[in-house]
Amino acid sequence: MINPETAKATASEYGHPAATLQVDVIADLICPWCYLGKKRLDNALTAVHGPSLVTWYPFQINPTMPVEGMPFADYLAIKFGDPERLEPGLAALTAAGEAEGVNFRFDKMSQVPNTLSAHRLMKLAEEEGADTSELAENILQGFFEKGLNIADRDVLIEIGAASGLTASAINKTLEDDLSSRIVASQEAQVRQSGVTGVPDFLINKRLFVVGAQSTESLVTVFDRVMFGEESDQPVSPIVH
């Protein structure tokens, strides 16, 4: 693997700015693996040090979820059957979260929301030039660690305010059907490209990473994209 500090120094010596790493994130904001994937992505971007541009694309894992959402217990029963069979999986997720600094609190979740409004808030942040990754972090944290209903307008206003979005702009967005159409159009394009699950990461429009892969795997992909096909590390089989 190429040492990032050496690469930066070499670029600087010749007067060339470090190339920007572009990451397109496809995710839903109630997906626990998307939360883990974001944490691992953040760590990988920190590890390579160079400039990066992260863009978020919407995907709804429950596209037919009622607007008012669904009680968490009912959702688990419908989607997975006997809740007791889920306990080992939830325990494994909790342990994986602890390793990434995520405090999953499934016990605080009373409602599984429709995520359309949250995705619309992400689009507003993008249009306003706000930090969409910071906003995604706050939405994911609000749902998974605080048990917030991220479909509730007041909750979204409070979360959006932390990223510099005004209540008036958020209200206008959520009252205007345009943002719904934009999200629907982007999600349709994502699904037409063959995506059936999240998270996914498209790196520099070249390599596609499926799932919440490890930080080390992501760094390996970054090296391959930025410095050519040759690498002293194997490329993860999840890269297409």
- 122 and 85 in contact (C-beta within 8 Å)? no
d(CA 178, CA 182): 6
Q: Helices 153-161 and 167-175 meet at what angle, rounded to 10?
A: 140
Report the Cα–Cα distance between both ends of the chain, in Å, rounded. Answer: 20
Residue 235's identity, in one-letter code, is V
Average pLDDT over residues 144-168: 98
The closest of 42, 50, 52 to 9, measured between CA atoms, is: 50
User: Which pTM was predicted?
Assistant: 0.87
Q: Which fold has domain 4-227?
A: Glutaredoxin (3.40.30)
Average pLDDT over residues 133-141: 98
- Residue-wise pLDDT tens digits, 163-208: 999 999 999 999 999 999 999 999 999 999 999 999 999 999 999 9
Q: Helices 132-146 and 32-48 meet at what angle, rounded to 10?
A: 140
d(CA 113, CA 8): 44
- 124 and 165 in contact (C-beta within 8 Å)? yes
- Residue-wise pLDDT tens digits, 6-48: 333 333 333 334 589 999 999 999 999 999 999 999 999 999 9
Task: Report CA-CA distances (Å) from 81 to 5, 26, 75.
Answer: 50, 27, 9
- 120 and 179 in contact (C-beta within 8 Å)? yes
Sequence ranges of the domains in the chain? 4-227
- H-helix or E-strand containing 42? helix 32-48
Averaged confidence pLDDT in the chain: 89
Question: DSSP readout, 84-118?
Answer: GGGHHHHHHHHHHHHHTT----GGG--EE---HHH
pLDDT over 70, % of the chain: 88
Average pLDDT over residues 91-113: 97
Query: At 55, is the secondary structure helix, strand, or coil?
Result: strand
pLDDT of 213 > 70? The answer is yes
The closest of 195, 236, 199, 197 to 218, measured between CA atoms, is: 236
- 115 and 150 in contact (C-beta within 8 Å)? yes
pLDDT of 69 > 70? The answer is yes
